Amino acid sequence: MGLAHIRQVWEQCLPCFPATFKSEHRDIVIHAGGDVAFVHGVHHFVPTPAEHPCGSTWMRVTLGFRRIGGAWKVLHEHVSIPFNPLNGQAWYVKNPDVVDRPDYGQPTETSCSRETN
């Protein structure tokens, strides 16, 4: 992929954002050993104006690093919105301090459920 590809992807997303926003991270956990490290936590955008939809949910973030030639390099980056695997619907997290979960309900035709005989 490389830096140019990542930059291109973000540039395609930016028209959906307001002119001014910040990035907030929390619940950060760092695992490091030798030349490998992983970081995970939650993230959301803080837009101006506050009502802008880009700030409507918290997302999970995971980064994987490796020390190469004495410098830490990002080898893996993943950002996602949690979802209900039974129906594929996004699970919007308004407040990460409130432990909740989606209503999984019943599997749908598009879910990953398997019939057993």
pLDDT in tens, 57-103: 899 999 999 999 999 999 999 999 888 788 888 888 888 888 666 66
Long-range own/partner contacts, residues 48-54 (CB < 8 A, 24 or more apart): 48/18, 48/19, 48/20, 48/21, 49/18, 52/17, 52/18, 52/21, 54/16, 54/17, 54/18, 54/21
Range with lowest mean pLDDT among 13-17, 43-47, 76-80, 113-117: 113-117
What confidence score (pLDDT) does residue 116 get? 47
Determine the topology of domain 2-80 in CATH: Nuclear Transport Factor 2; Chain: A, (3.10.450)
Rg (alpha carbons) of the chain, rounded to whole number:
18
Alpha carbon distance, N-terminus to C-terminus of the chain: 44
Asked if residue 115 has pLDDT above 80, the reply is no
CA distance 95 to 51: 15
Segment 22-50, tens digit of pLDDT: 999 999 999 999 999 999 999 998 998 88
What confidence score (pLDDT) does residue 42 get? 93
CA distance 55 to 62: 19
